Structure 1
Amino acid sequence: MVRDYSAFLPGSTPARREPTALERLGWGPTFASQIDTDALTATPPVRVVAVHRSGLQVAGDGIEETIPPGPEATVGDWLLLDRARPRSSRVLERKSLIKRRAPGTGREVQLIAANIDTVFVVTSCNADFNVARLERYVALAFEAGVAPVIVLTKADLAEDTEPYVEEARKVSDRVPVVALDARGDEPAAALVGWCKPGRTVAFVGSSGVGKSTLTNALLGNQAIATRGIREDDAKGRHTTTRRELHTAPGGCLVLDTPGMRELQLTDAASGIADVFEDIEALAENCRFTDCQHETEPGCAVLAAIEDGSLDPARLARWRKLQAEDAFNSASLAERREKDRAFGKLVRSAVTAKLDRKR
């Protein structure tokens, strides 16, 4: 059956109508502008809705299947499905990409999610609350090109949520903060402004902060299992084990993610600068352009600490994230260069072997 994809192409302004199957999956002009009608028919677009060890689970217009691993894709990506050679399916250019340095001693980059519109950075109004962790997640979102929102859960269990809200607001003036009870109807009402039809949102944060509970609240069911926290330290237990897109009744796509015990930033310099734009602005007024904000005369950053307008702890956290990102980025660049050199060596050896056989 030949499908009519004309409504998905740039310049198409149809009258008021029901969203198509692809639009319900988040399809829009960003992706439509990258292809033409012939390509759409020959290689139908599908979205990666889950990643398994056995392959990528994809969905499209009348398509729901799992294809073998091959395309370098993550959940949320759009592919042009090559039926004959699914491993060669083309990944469309992303409008956003959340990534981190993979856990462990390796230097690989782990792709977390693609084409997310809003990321809800979730933490609890209890002992798990940590400003440094929030700054880290928000920097990750800014670098990815995703709008972050801080969501404070377990508000019903806190004697006073205002101290948590005030601390969360200090992370960035550009990030809204919402405090709520993750259960019941409150999340759907509080987050409705970001959960529009065809939009894709993601919940990120530590284990036990309520990400799966929030996802269930938006889905209107208990599709995702949840578990309680440890009472002694408010730490959570892993419930979600994979990243998977779910469709909410209102048409929003919701991504629940496993809790991340280790979130190492890499290639995130601009995201860090966005979170700490107050310090960046101060640094522009330092006497020396290469000021390290340690003992230099005329340092505007040190002056702000002296007059109390800048918290020394915030400066320390900025330094830590900058150093971490610089180290990880340099390590990855070094590895890429070694990989390129090794590939060149292999190609030269193969060419020399072929030449000897002639």
Structure 2
Amino acid sequence: MDSDDSKRPHCSATAGAASGNPATLETLGWDPFFAQQASVEALSETPPVRVVAVHRSGLQIVGVDIDEHLPPRADATVGDWLLLDRALPPASRLLSRKSLVKRRAPGTNRQMQLIAANIDTAFVVTSCNQDFNLARLERYVALAFEAEIPPVIVLTKADLATDLQSWIDAARTISERVPVVALDARGDEPAQVLSPWCKPGRTVAFLGSSGVGKSTLTNALAGTDAIATRAIREDDARGRHTTTRRELHRIAGGCLVLDTPGMRELQLTDAASGIADTFEDIQALSAQCRFGNCQHEGEPGCAVRDAVEHGRLDPARVARWRKLLAEDSFNSASLAERRTKERAFGKMVRRVMKESTSRRRP
């Protein structure tokens, strides 16, 4: 869970960012997609601001000569753009997003949790050690595809790998559409290797479990050690949480970087298209099955089973695909059920209030 760390010194996307230059709308990621959503008069009366951090106490927003705190609101997340209403800040208008990363919130309440908005590239980070997990990587890649964000797999601790190519080859089995890069998260290498995606005004996000080097990568891009990092546990290469909130950092080269806490639980919801994009090879085979509703278990003419039996498809990959589909279907149905119950409850409350008001009238 993100904590309210607002009093801790940090490197953020404020006017005093790593570059030392005042923030402009363009350096904060503003582009024609957002500009076309409001008239010139509206932009003048309600200046655009970007949410650069989310605390329990509210939203940190930054704009041109603006660095303020707004009350909490459930519909906004880090990376969002608002038109700031000076007279009534909680009524500030939320602009439509280019992308939105979301997941089912941990626990049993079946709510949706917003992770980040308006991300241009998602760096899915893992290490060349025991942390490497294909199933977890596939989840993050599916999450990015569902949000319509191009993913890039970043393998850290490449300097410690005895057979680096084997790690790269394994990561490339996830999707032909996802580039894979390997690097040492320290020093100058991240800025060099990730430069094709870290252009001025672009917003990138580091996603992955704790200890894989997300904060180290952010520090490397920023040329600072302002973001705290901690060593992994030696016995199992598992990381310890260091980043405790989602926050945008404005980098000297003009890029904005979102560092995120490691997510202990990543449950996919409403991610059917993202899963399909991640497993394009299996989806293509499914279209060749004799029956349109083939379950790929024992039906005749199943192209998926035929590919497995003839060694063209890894059965473990098929099993992971089926698991993600089942999880997404269950979570999506649970969320739809919750929404239905909430709408029914809302209607009941409005009816009771209307009836109560009618009885009080003379």
Query: Normalized against structure 1, the TM-score is what?
Result: 0.94
Off by >2 Å, runs of 4+ in structure 1: none
What's the offset of the Cα at 1:71?
Answer: 5.8
Paired residue for 1:27? Answer: 30
Paired residue for 1:224? Answer: 227
Identify which of 239, 251, 268 aligns with 1:236. Answer: 239
Paired residue for 1:102? Answer: 105
What's the offset of the Cα at 1:70?
Answer: 2.8
Paired residue for 1:63? Answer: 66
**CA shift in 2, pair 1:241/1:19, >3 Å:** closer
Output one character per residue of 1:153-190: Cα deviation in whole Å (capped at 9) or x when no partner: 00111111111100100000000000100000000000
Higher relative contact order, structure no. (Cα contacts within 8 Å, ≥ 6 residues apart): 2
Identify which of 125, 142, 146 aligns with 2:145. Answer: 142
What's the offset of the Cα at 1:84?
Answer: 1.4
Percent of aligned pairs sharing the same letter: 74
Instruction: Specify the code of the residue in structure 1 equivalent to 2:188.
Output: D
What's the offset of the Cα at 1:54?
Answer: 1.0
Instruction: Specify the code of the residue in structure 2 equivalent to 1:198.
Output: G
Paired residue for 1:207? Answer: 210
Paired residue for 2:125? Answer: 122
**d(CA) in 1 for partners of 2:54 and 2:226?**
18
Paired residue for 2:257? Answer: 254
**d(CA) in 2 for partners of 1:53 and 1:347?**
30
Instruction: Specify the code of the residue in structure 1 equivalent to 2:65.
Output: G
Output one character per residue of 1:134-162: Cα deviation in whole Å (capped at 9) or x when no partner: 00000000000101000000011111111
In the alignment of these two chains, the number of paired residues is 341
CA contact (8 A) 1:71 1:87 kept: no
Specify the SS of the correspondent of 2:26: helix
Paired residue for 1:192? Answer: 195
Specify the SS of the correspondent of 1:213: helix
Instruction: Specify the code of the residue in structure 2 equivalent to 1:253.
Output: L
Specify the SS of the correspondent of 1:265: coil
What's the offset of the Cα at 1:72?
Answer: 1.4
**d(CA) in 2 for partners of 1:140 and 1:163?**
25
Specify the SS of the correspondent of 2:295: coil
**d(CA) in 2 for partners of 1:102 and 1:66?**
25
What's the offset of the Cα at 1:313?
Answer: 0.3
Identify which of 149, 156, 166 aligns with 1:153. Answer: 156
Specify the SS of the correspondent of 1:138: helix
Specify the SS of the correspondent of 2:25: helix
CA contact (8 A) 2:23 2:63 kept: no
Paired residue for 1:329? Answer: 332
Task: Say whether 1:288 aligns with 2:291.
Answer: yes
CA contact (8 A) 1:45 1:80 kept: yes
Instruction: Specify the code of the residue in structure 2 equivalent to 1:264.
Output: Q
Identify which of 304, 307, 324 aligns with 2:307. Answer: 304
Task: Say whether 1:265 aligns with 2:272.
Answer: no
Instruction: Specify the code of the residue in structure 1 equivalent to 2:337.
Output: E
Output one character per residue of 1:289-333: Cα deviation in whole Å (capped at 9) or x when no partner: 000000000000000001100000000000000000000000000
**d(CA) in 2 for partners of 1:322 and 1:240?**
30
**CA shift in 2, pair 1:272/1:92, >3 Å:** same
CA contact (8 A) 2:175 2:279 kept: yes
CA contact (8 A) 1:287 1:299 kept: yes
**CA shift in 2, pair 1:248/1:20, >3 Å:** closer
Task: Say whether 1:345 aligns with 2:348.
Answer: yes
**d(CA) in 1 for partners of 2:23 and 2:260?**
27
Instruction: Specify the code of the residue in structure 2 equivalent to 1:143.
Output: E
CA contact (8 A) 1:143 1:270 kept: yes
Where do 5+ consecutive residues of structure 2 fail to align? 1-20
**d(CA) in 2 for partners of 1:232 and 1:69?**
40
**d(CA) in 1 for partners of 2:215 and 2:155?**
14
Paired residue for 1:13? Answer: none
Query: Normalized against structure 2, the TM-score is what?
Result: 0.93
Specify the SS of the correspondent of 1:57: strand
**CA shift in 2, pair 1:288/1:71, >3 Å:** closer
CA contact (8 A) 1:48 1:78 kept: yes
CA contact (8 A) 2:23 2:65 kept: no
**d(CA) in 2 for partners of 1:68 and 1:83?**
13
Output one character per residue of 1:102-123: Cα deviation in whole Å (capped at 9) or x when no partner: 0111100110000000010000
CA contact (8 A) 1:265 1:325 kept: yes
Paired residue for 1:10? Answer: none
What's the offset of the Cα at 1:244?
Answer: 0.5
